[in-house]
Structure 1
Amino acid sequence: MPRERVGIEGAAALLRRAAAAEPDRGRVAFLCIGTDRSTGDAFGPLVGTLLAEAGWAHVVGTLEHPCDADMYDAMRAAIPEGMLTIAIDACLGIKEEEPGYVVGEGPLFPGHAVGKRLAPAGHYSIAGIVGPKSPKPYWTIQHASLREVLELARALADAVQAAWGEPALPGSGPQTAITL
């Protein structure tokens, strides 16, 4: 399947296909790539943290233990053989009103947007679009809206839960704004 830009429903459809391929959530691993030191690049670790807090056993890459470029090879190698792996990362792309993801069956190529060439990973891949493509990708990813990145992460973590028949995560869904 080629990679395509989708909204959350398209990402949820990909996750349902993954759940149909491996219904045992104990045999599913999430490789959540990124760092906690850059707003946009925190998308993967945010998703990883939400999934770990929801009780998923095989989550690599959280805010506490990010799977950044320096740790990527070692952390990827720590995923047990035979696990269905879903790779999650941030990416830059065309920003539209609706939050978006780039999804596909097959591996993700981390670091591509910022010129890095890390080994591909994952049986399925999902990248959250955290900012527009630009001539300055590092600047763009570092200055992504934290609110938008967190909304993308929450929506994706909820879609993971739903794909395997679990309830949405606590604290997700529409957020109430407080104005001062």
Structure 2
Amino acid sequence: MGNRAKARRGRTEDSVVRQRVAIEGAEAFLRKAAAVQPDRARVAFLCIGTDCSTGDSFGPLVGTLLKQAGWRRVIGTLDDPCDADRYESLKSSIPESCLTIAIDACLGVKEAEPGYIVGDGPLYPGHAVGKRLSPAGHYSIAGIVGPKSVKPYWTIQHASLHEVLGMARALASAVQAAWGRPEVEAMRLRS
């Protein structure tokens, strides 16, 4: 069997149980990760995406907010995105001793309240737009930035910046709350 066939087979055999949650569920999910690794210095965030697409900027927006809040190990910001071209090399720079949380945008069922897909296991970046990048993360969070469609690139490009930014701020605040940061810091991220 060729490498492509193995990669496709590996993706269809994804054993990670994923769940759609609101921001409160994402925070509870992050608290579980914080209980596994309470030392902030041993946690890495792999924030996947690009600053060249509204919807796909979700990961770099979260990364930028986390970096501004003082997190040391953040890969993927608006200044230095972790896009498809740089993904493999940036992912490999994360020390194996770190608990890694992968964050990316995704397409799914849009509801009135912003939604996130969380899973105890790796994220498969680029799946919504047909890319086959290697999995990443011990935990994964994907922000639903638009509805699934037959034109995924168009959908992700035309996501509401207001909604994407709001979701990124909420998730960065949830990270801060999960690792016990002062409420003042969490309030700053929400504004």
For this structure pair, what is the TM-score category when the shorter chain's length is used for normalisation? over 0.9
Please report the TM-score for the alignment, with normalisation by the length of structure 1.
0.94
8 Å CA contact retained: 1:87, 1:124: yes
Amino acid at match of 1:19: A
Q: 1:136 deviation in Å?
A: 0.2
8 Å CA contact retained: 1:36, 1:66: yes
Amino acid at match of 2:143: G
Output one character per residue of 1:58-110: Cα deviation in whole Å (capped at 9) or x when no partner: 00000000000000000000111210000000000000000000001000000
Q: 11, 15, 20: which is aligned to 1:5?
A: 20
Amino acid at match of 1:10: G
Alignment coverage as a number of residue pairs? 174
8 Å CA contact retained: 2:99, 2:138: yes
Structure with more helix by fraction? 2
Stretches of structure 2 that go unaligned for 5 or more consecutive residues are: 1-15
Q: 1:172 deviation in Å?
A: 3.4
Name 1:126's counterpart in structure 2.
Answer: 141
Name 1:97's counterpart in structure 2.
Answer: 112
Amino acid at match of 1:154: R
8 Å CA contact retained: 1:54, 1:169: no
Amino acid at match of 1:136: K
What secondary structure does 1:172 align onto? helix
Name 2:161's counterpart in structure 1.
Answer: 146
Residue 47 (str. 1) matches residue 62 (str. 2): yes
Give the aligned CA root-mean-square deviation in angstroms. 1.0
Name 2:51's counterpart in structure 1.
Answer: 36
% identical equivalent positions = 73
Residue 21 (str. 1) matches residue 21 (str. 2): no
Q: 59, 66, 73: which is aligned to 2:88?
A: 73
Amino acid at match of 1:57: R
Distance 1:91 1:32, change over 3 A: same
What secondary structure does 1:89 align onto? strand
Output one character per residue of 1:27-57: Cα deviation in whole Å (capped at 9) or x when no partner: 0000000000000000000000000000000
Name 1:172's counterpart in structure 2.
Answer: 189
Whole-angstrom CA distance in 1 between matches of 2:36 and 2:120: 12
Whole-angstrom CA distance in 2 between matches of 1:27 and 1:85: 9
Name 2:12's counterpart in structure 1.
Answer: none
